Amino acid sequence: MNTTQTEQRPEQSRESRSIAQKKLVTVATYNEMENLPDLVEHIFQVVPEVDVLVIDDNSPDGTGRWCDQQGAGERRLHCLHREGKLGLGTATIAGMKYGIEQGYEYVLNMDADFSHHPRYLPDLIAGMDPPDGPAVDVMIGSRYVPGGGVEGWPLHRKLMSRGVNFYARCLLGLKSRDCSGAFRCYRTELLGKLDFDAVRSRGYSFQEEILWHLKRLGARFGETPIVFADRQRGASKINSKEAVTALKIIFALGLRNVFGK
């Protein structure tokens, strides 16, 4: 998808940004007015050095308008407006492209509903260049390493998530324990080498597919524990049709992984 045809890109001068501000937190939104103002406040409290980019899919509840109003007085907050619901994968790609174009060192991605709590952002950032280990290209906020976990999910959803991660690891040759979580920090130097037009996923299989593409580019992965909390406010965007589509895409990628096509 050519995102420049469907997005109103926020203005930002590279020269106007402080040299220290090299980290971008991206948040995809659709009707998140119940959560976004508190989320942005928490992000700036925990990591005041970051910029925040909201990618809004023309939310009827005014999420995008709120971002524009707040951004007028807060230089760290920016909003990218899209014409409608174009998929979580394309929103994440739009944020990555923005981070590359604007010269950020890291692009972090998180959900807007507090299922990914901002308190974990420092760990994601610190894990990219740890003092006692090798640097990584993608740091994953993981539910499935020691110290991580999930709150508020029924048993069937926990089993489904575990099953999808096992399925993706087997088919795509991924070693990360949490392949489906969206709470991540990416090194933009590697993202700049990625052919975004080759990414098929528009929905929830994007998380597994992007790891697979980055693995093929030689990416180094790390994981840091997080506790995922199910949303308390607003409506979930997950539906069964997207889940089935995700499984099909992962299977097709698995065939490519095996046969090299």
Give domain 20-259's CATH superfamily: Spore Coat Polysaccharide Biosynthesis Protein SpsA; Chain A (3.90.550.10)
Using CB atoms within 10 Å of the CB of residue 189, give its burial: 0 to 12 exposed, 13 to 18 middle, 19+ buried. Answer: exposed
Mean pLDDT score, 81-110: 94
- Which pLDDT belongs to residue 101? 96
- Which pLDDT belongs to residue 168? 84
Using CB atoms within 10 Å of the CB of residue 71, give its burial: 0 to 12 exposed, 13 to 18 middle, 19+ buried. Answer: middle
- Which residues fall within 8 angstroms of residue 154, CB to CB, at 6 or more apart? none
Instruction: Give the distance, in angstroms, between the CA of residue 17 and the centroid of all CA atoms in the same chain.
Output: 23
Residue 188 token pair: 């933009």
- Which pLDDT belongs to residue 31? 94
Closest CA to 124 of 48, 44, 187, 191: 187
* DSSP notation for the chain: --GGGTEEPPP--TTTS-TT--EEEEEEESS-TTTHHHHHHHHHHH-TT-EEEEEE---TTSHHHHHHHHHTT-TTEEEEEESS---HHHHHHHHHHHHHHTT-SEEEEE-SSSSS-GGGHHHHHHTTS-TTS---SEEEEESSSTT-EEES--HHHHHHHHHHHHHHHHHH----S-SS---EEEEHHHHTT--GGG---SSTTHHHHHHHHHHHTT--EEEEE-EEE--SSS-----HHHHHHHHHHHHHHHHHHHH--
- Which pLDDT belongs to residue 121? 98
pLDDT tier at 122 (50, 70, 90 boundaries)?
very high
- Which residues fall within 8 angstroms of residue 73, CB to CB, at 6 or more apart? none
Least confident span in 31-45, 97-111, 157-171 = 157-171
- Which residues fall within 8 angstroms of residue 63, CB to CB, at 6 or more apart? 29, 30, 31, 32, 33, 36, 54, 56
pLDDT tier at 6 (50, 70, 90 boundaries)?
very low
- Which pLDDT belongs to residue 104? 97
pLDDT digits (tens, 9 = 90+) for 8-53: 555 544 444 444 449 999 999 999 999 999 999 999 999 999 999 9
- Which pLDDT belongs to residue 260? 67
- Which pLDDT belongs to residue 210? 94
pLDDT tier at 87 (50, 70, 90 boundaries)?
confident
254 versus 217: which is more confidently predicted? 217
Q: Model's pTM, two decimal places?
A: 0.85
- Which pLDDT belongs to residue 1? 33
Share the mean pLDDT of the chain. Answer: 87
Q: Is the dihedral of CA 83, 86, 87, 91 positive or negative?
A: negative
pLDDT digits (tens, 9 = 90+) for 195-243: 999 998 877 789 999 999 999 999 999 999 999 998 665 555 555 566 6
